[in-house]
A and B are shown apart, each in its own frame.
Chain A
């Protein structure tokens, strides 16, 4: 690294500072940590379905990182768009849910109460619903159970 460092042994690994080549369009990375991502995962899956599937199909053609840069930018832009919309419309519910996830080992089943308010808000404002693919048909999905067997012991 070009910056001055004290001591003979670097305390952090060397990170290549070279930016992307100029012929690649720049995209702002999402920069969202794990709990908000987990909170928004099903909405990202619903909102960005086409882009995600396009990207994964492209990856199955060729695993080379340079092969799917364009599709990858679309995926990131779509996710950024969704997170911005969530922050505009359902900020308090979103924040409450991912805060709960962060405090509960990122387990969905311990955070059903804030999750339900978030889901209701997302459906009302953005028309997005949380659906779990390939769940058994004709049964209440696990995130809508009134009396689940697995729940927090302390209320």
Chain B
């Protein structure tokens, strides 16, 4: 006996599509974005640092030249004072050693005409 024949058919409207695609939701910006961003930020930082170095160099130049311009003035004043004290010391020495024959007051201890800063200074 043969059963009544019934062909097996797809459901009305057809099968639903096969779900073969992976489900990967968007998980934020990718590695390249982060790498590029970090490079941009640090590049900007290095640029600012370089500008700062250049500016600091100019500030230092300004400071140094302000001092250089004052050197002659201060040196002249110091020289007058040193000369005054030296003359006074020589006069004192001459007074003290006036009884010693052949004594030259203020004579250099070096056999050299070049000026040497006195090693003992009386203020």
Residues of A with C-beta under 8 A to B55:
142, 145, 148-150
> Which residues from 15 to 47 on chain A have a C-beta closer than 8 Å to any C-beta of chain B?
15-16, 18-21, 24, 27, 29-30, 37-38, 41-42, 44-45
CA distance A22 to B116 in the complex (A): 25
CA distance A142 to B59 in the complex (A): 7
Cβ distance B66 to chain A, nearest Cβ, rounded Å? 4
What's the tally of chain B residues with a CB closer than 8 Å to chain A?
38
B contact patch SS: helix
* Cβ–Cβ contact B72 & A16, under 8 A: no
> Is A120 in the interface zone, CB < 8 Å from B?
no
What residue in chain B is nearest A109 (Cβ atoms)? B59
> Is A7 in the interface zone, CB < 8 Å from B?
no
* Cβ–Cβ contact B59 & A72, under 8 A: no
* Cβ–Cβ contact A75 & B82, under 8 A: no
> Is B98 in the interface zone, CB < 8 Å from A?
no
Cβ distance A50 to chain B, nearest Cβ, rounded Å? 11
What's the tally of chain A residues with a CB closer than 8 Å to chain B?
52
What residue in chain B is nearest A62 (Cβ atoms)? B115
Q: Which of B58, B87, B115 has the most CB of A within 10 A?
A: B58
* Cβ–Cβ contact A69 & B88, under 8 A: no
Interface flags, B78-90, vs A, CB<8A=1, else 0: 1110111111110
* Cβ–Cβ contact B58 & A72, under 8 A: no
* Cβ–Cβ contact B62 & A108, under 8 A: yes
> Which residues from 74 to 113 on chain B have a C-beta closer than 8 Å to any C-beta of chain A?
75-80, 82-89, 91
> Is A135 in the interface zone, CB < 8 Å from B?
yes
CA distance A44 to B71 in the complex (A): 11
Q: A108-B63, A145-B55 are in contact. List 12 more A-B contacts (CB 8 A).
A: A20-B84, A24-B83, A30-B77, A41-B65, A44-B69, A48-B73, A55-B72, A76-B76, A108-B59, A142-B59, A150-B52, A150-B55
8 tightest CB-CB pairs across the interface, nearest first? A72-B76, A45-B69, A18-B88, A142-B58, A64-B115, A41-B66, A65-B79, A52-B72
